[in-house]
Structure 1
Amino acid sequence: MQPLNRTTAQITQTRPTKVVQFGEGNFLRGFVDWIIDILNEKTDFNGAVTVIQPQNKDKYKLLNQQDGLFHVLLEGIQEGRNMQETRLISCVSHALSPYTSYHEYLALGENPDLEFIFSNTTEAGIAFEPSDVTPDTTPVSFPGKLTALLYRRFTHFKGAKDKALTIIPCELIEKNGEKLRDIVLQYASLWNLPAPFADWIEQDTIFCNTLVDRIVPGFPHDTYAHIQQELGFEDKLLVKAEPFHLLVIEAPASVAKAFPAAQTGLQVKFVEDLTPYRTSKVRILNGAHTTLVPVAYLQGLRTVREAVEDEKTGQFIREAILEEIIPTLDLPGQELTQFAQDVIDRFRNPFIRHELLSIALNSVSKYKVRVLPSVLEYHARNGRLPQRLLHALAALILFYRGEYNGEQIPLNDTPEVLAFFQTAWQKSSVAETVQAVLANQEFWEQDLTQVPNLEATVAQQLTLLLEQEQVRAS
């Protein structure tokens, strides 16, 4: 078995570095680098990526041992059919650590070909660290490191507007680009950097808000031996991902021109406002997950795939999405329907085992954010309540009883939430239990008993679920 490197893979082409990427993890390699590799193949982008290890660890060394090469294995359902596809990613030139090579890291800012910064440093990565008091030594935080790099670029090119960069963070927080920009400006102030630098950041550097979506499970431990035999290489950085991908970038037209994903057929969208896309993702994908979990679990199902392929539960979640969630959204109907079909295909992915209980973490707060807005919007638009989404709420209340049909349910939520439900289920009637839950403004930030007919509907649905439990027990 050959080790994977540019010699054994016979890759001799070199490209100018156009991208600096903060993060070496599975998601960026299986998503952003995969996209850039396709851009290099299908367009005139012709750009290499330099990977920055954002934490003081040695993971970047393995990437250098393989000369930046690795494979992305796509496994899942696409257009209703199982698919498996492997791609050798060659766009990464090398990786470095600013903790061991800070001067080399800052020198990246002097590269005239550099255009883009991508990042995925987890949601906690976009944060201000007060201990980063100077750019003269390696800052601890990602925004601190970024500020130091941008300041080197600003000084080297004397504030040239055409050398300002486009920053595309992939961290899963709302308005990630704006928040990152604000923290960079905070460091500029803390470090007493010249005012023209702050102007260059605010006026010329483009910080994009983004929405990213792809499940990237990472290294396929169970099937690695078989896969490497097929590849003919020992690839220690092989990363597994689902076929579905979505990158929505809120940016001016100039960014779409410089990053020509539209020419490739990739699901990369440049938009003026990504709010409706974020809303659609949260309500369709995340909302369907949260709707599905208690309903399916009480039916004895334990994985997402089982639930969707079950005749009864599968029909329930499809109808909930198409008839009760999509009608509350404002994107074109065809686009929403296609996204919904993609979601169902993703739920059915036979290569990923997604346990319902892993999604059930903090289900009450998830219902508030992911499902309740659809309930209220559906009511506002139609003058009636969405029965399936409220059936899911009733199932959620029963789920939080902590046992069903004689089996304990391993609940995973805050002690306060669990204690509340324990008390609520000691009420003398189903109606009183439902009233207590729906009136809890700490859960919902409003009193849901004030929504016409909502309390009665949930109580009726919960009563039916309890009757079904008694039938099963008899």
Structure 2
Amino acid sequence: MSLLNYRVLEKSNYQGYILKPGAPVKVLQFGEGNFLRAFVDYWFDMANEKAGYNGKVAVVQPIAQGLTQQINQQEGLYTLYLRGSEKGQKVDRKRVISAIDACYNPYNVEDWLKVKVIACSDDLEYIASNTTEAGIAYDPQASLDQAPPASFPAKLTALLYERYKAGKKGLTILSCELIDNNGRELEKIVQKHIEDWHLETGFARWIEKENLFCSTLVDRIVPGRIRDQREVDELNQINGYEDQLLDVGEVFGVWYIEGPAELEDRLPFKRAGLNVHVVEQVAPYKKRKVRILNGAHTGFVLGAYLAGENIVRDCMEDEVIHGFMNKILYDEVIPILPLDREDCENFAAAVTDRFNNPFVDHQLLSISLNSTSKWKARDLPSLLEYQEKFGKLPQALCMGFAAYIAFFSNDLKERTADAILARRPAGDDYQIQDDDWVLDFYWEHRKDDAATLTAAALGNEKMWDQNLNAVPGLTEQVSRDLELIREQGAREAYASVL
């Protein structure tokens, strides 16, 4: 079977939108992995179709090993499947993405020179990146005379310097790395390299005044690979070509870009009617994502596992567990968020679809990994803010807290090198995995009654950065909830707050 390229695609009788080769390169992208190809490249591809953007993406491989050869063999083309649930309906959408022009390996000197030429192009408008959380980091060993400079921020500094010397206009940089204030942190490192490399002050001013470093919030789950080779072979047979870059993401996707209002009109996404938004600050939207999407996971899955469930999708079919999750979100989390309530409720409704994805068997045990730090970051702030705002404790979040303690203390059997072996009420064993000091704490307290364990857990300041026994009524409430879980089971305990 022939490898996907433009000629092969034409012979396959593909009926979807395709941007032919030769369109101007308007985006320079650092990163060629599954996420960027299912997210950033997807949005630009949709803008090409829906808004006539007519722009290609030149991709730079950020590390020495990558996908440059495969991408160029397929002339930038690849098949993207967006799979999931929308309003309760199963969705499986196929799209051949044609936004990528070519990929370059900057560790090849010839490719690095080509990237420099692209960086100075009059057509170039945007630089996008996802070089992982470790990518936005200052490297004091990076230098301008390296070909290329070692780190991503150093490469970016070198390319922007080439553009500055060529007398070109500034660019908009869209940082997608999963750190807070990703764009601002990237700009700080670029300015640090300018200082270290003793580059002219005019360049530093040009960076500050003429370029826009945007912090962004990305939200789409991208499994990337289809692990069943038989399914891959079947899809290739149906498509009429072999695709070494086949990519899979969930249907839901939203991109928040921090910037001035005029940026929304300049970007092609609004004209295309896409779920990409320019906002004054991304922080409230990150808070919404963490508290609703991530907080829902952490808030209900531990008790759901004790109740006998194994995957997230099945929890959405359970009236009690789904109802418990909704009570956390609609009654206790959304009322304290600093965003429009209807907007938050729409986001929460999408969470049900995302959790109900028929293509993903999301194991509750995999979500349980490192639940202590997750509870601290995702659910505890909602619990405390609710109590402060309304002067009472949130029932479902308190029950979720008790379910966390129950999961870590249910019929403990053995402390292994990196886990605790426990047994759930159904009789099967499970592994509790967390930081060693957390596991040591629960193992040491394995014989405690509910009241003693609750007081010890809530009083562990290393876990929560505070003594939660000081929160009025919290210790007593969580202790009662833990006792109820132990006596009647997690499902009955969840039902008691509905």
TM over 0.5: yes
TM-score of the pair, normalised by structure 1: 0.95
Whole-Å separation in 2 of the counterparts to 1:353 and 1:33: 26
- After TM superposition, give the deviation of residue 9 of structure 1 in Å: 2.1
- After TM superposition, give the deviation of residue 416 of structure 1 in Å: 0.8
Verify the 8 A CA contact 1:394 1:461 in the aligned structure 2.
Answer: yes
Structure 1 residue 414 and structure 2 residue 435: aligned? yes
Show the 5 A alignment for 1:267-278.
267-278=275-286
Structure 1 segments unaligned to the other structure (5+ residues):
none
Q: Which residue of 2 aligns with 1:144?
A: 154
- After TM superposition, give the deviation of residue 58 of structure 1 in Å: 4.0
- After TM superposition, give the deviation of residue 230 of structure 1 in Å: 2.1
Q: Which residue of 1 aligns with 2:464?
A: 444
Verify the 8 A CA contact 2:304 2:490 in the aligned structure 1.
Answer: no
Structure 1 residue 392 and structure 2 residue 413: aligned? no
> Pick from 149, 159, 165: which aligns with 1:155?
165
TM-score of the pair, normalised by structure 2: 0.91
- After TM superposition, give the deviation of residue 200 of structure 1 in Å: 1.2
Q: Which residue of 2 aligns with 1:301?
A: 309
Q: Which amino acid aligns with 2:57?
A: V
Structure 1 residue 259 and structure 2 residue 267: aligned? yes
Q: Which residue of 2 aligns with 1:124?
A: 134
Partner SS state of residue 338, structure 1: helix
Partner SS state of residue 59, structure 2: strand
Whole-Å separation in 2 of the counterparts to 1:122 and 1:58: 14
- After TM superposition, give the deviation of residue 392 of structure 1 in Å: 1.0
- After TM superposition, give the deviation of residue 409 of structure 1 in Å: 2.6
Whole-Å separation in 2 of the counterparts to 1:471 and 1:42: 47
- After TM superposition, give the deviation of residue 22 of structure 1 in Å: 0.5
- After TM superposition, give the deviation of residue 387 of structure 1 in Å: 1.0
Structure 1 residue 87 and structure 2 residue 107: aligned? no
- After TM superposition, give the deviation of residue 13 of structure 1 in Å: 4.5
Q: Which residue of 2 aligns with 1:229?
A: 237
Partner SS state of residue 431, structure 2: coil
TM-align CA RMSD: 1.7
Q: Which amino acid aligns with 1:156?
A: A
Q: Which residue of 1 aligns with 2:176?
A: 170
Q: Which amino acid aligns with 1:165?
A: L
Q: Which residue of 2 aligns with 1:196?
A: 202
- After TM superposition, give the deviation of residue 90 of structure 1 in Å: 0.5
Q: Which residue of 2 aligns with 1:181?
A: 187
Structure 1 residue 2 and structure 2 residue 22: aligned? no
> Pick from 463, 475, 489: which aligns with 1:455?
475
Structure 1 residue 67 and structure 2 residue 75: aligned? yes
Whole-Å separation in 2 of the counterparts to 1:129 and 1:262: 37
> Pick from 192, 195, 219: which aligns with 1:213?
219
Whole-Å separation in 1 of the counterparts to 2:51 and 2:28: 19
- After TM superposition, give the deviation of residue 129 of structure 1 in Å: 1.3
Whole-Å separation in 1 of the counterparts to 2:63 and 2:490: 54
Whole-Å separation in 1 of the counterparts to 2:145 and 2:263: 29
Verify the 8 A CA contact 1:19 1:117 in the aligned structure 2.
Answer: yes
Q: Which residue of 1 aligns with 2:496?
A: none
Q: Which amino acid aligns with 1:117?
A: I
Structure 1 residue 33 and structure 2 residue 41: aligned? yes
- For residues 150-197 of structure 1, what are the alpha-carbon distances to aligned partners after superposition, in whole Å with 9 as ceiling and x for unaligned? 11111111xx5xx10100011111100000001111111111111111
- After TM superposition, give the deviation of residue 470 of structure 1 in Å: 11
- After TM superposition, give the deviation of residue 425 of structure 1 in Å: 2.8
Verify the 8 A CA contact 2:403 2:490 in the aligned structure 1.
Answer: no
- For residues 329-376 of structure 1, what are the alpha-carbon distances to aligned partners after superposition, in whole Å with 9 as ceiling and x for unaligned? 121111111100101100000101111111112111111110011101
Moved more, 242-251 or 227-236: 227-236
Structure 1 residue 292 and structure 2 residue 274: aligned? no
Q: Which amino acid aligns with 1:174?
A: D
- After TM superposition, give the deviation of residue 103 of structure 1 in Å: 1.6
- After TM superposition, give the deviation of residue 466 of structure 1 in Å: 1.0
> Pick from 358, 364, 381: which aligns with 2:389?
381
What is the total number of aligned residue pairs between the two structures?
Answer: 467
Whole-Å separation in 2 of the counterparts to 1:245 and 1:22: 20
Moved more, 247-256 or 338-347: 247-256
Whole-Å separation in 2 of the counterparts to 1:91 and 1:72: 12
- After TM superposition, give the deviation of residue 71 of structure 1 in Å: 1.1
- For residues 115-145 of structure 1, what are the alpha-carbon distances to aligned partners after superposition, in whole Å with 9 as ceiling and x for unaligned? 1011111111111112213344212211111
Q: Which amino acid aligns with 2:187?
A: R
- Cα distance, 1:186–1:470 mapped onto 2, change above 3 Å: closer
- After TM superposition, give the deviation of residue 469 of structure 1 in Å: 5.1
- Cα distance, 1:398–1:17 mapped onto 2, change above 3 Å: same
- After TM superposition, give the deviation of residue 471 of structure 1 in Å: 12
Partner SS state of residue 3, structure 1: coil
Q: Which residue of 2 aligns with 1:465?
A: 485
Verify the 8 A CA contact 1:33 1:92 in the aligned structure 2.
Answer: yes
Whole-Å separation in 1 of the counterparts to 2:335 and 2:446: 34
Q: Which residue of 1 aligns with 2:416?
A: none
Partner SS state of residue 58, structure 2: strand
Whole-Å separation in 2 of the counterparts to 1:459 and 1:112: 65
Whole-Å separation in 1 of the counterparts to 2:306 and 2:145: 55
Whole-Å separation in 2 of the counterparts to 1:148 and 1:318: 49
Whole-Å separation in 2 of the counterparts to 1:471 and 1:313: 7
Verify the 8 A CA contact 1:166 1:255 in the aligned structure 2.
Answer: no
- For residues 413-464 of structure 1, what are the alpha-carbon distances to aligned partners after superposition, in whole Å with 9 as ceiling and x for unaligned? 111111011123343x321111111011111111111111110000000001
Verify the 8 A CA contact 2:306 2:490 in the aligned structure 1.
Answer: no
Q: Which amino acid aligns with 1:29?
A: R
Q: Which residue of 1 aligns with 2:454?
A: 434
Whole-Å separation in 2 of the counterparts to 1:78 and 1:180: 36
Q: Which amino acid aligns with 1:421?
A: Y
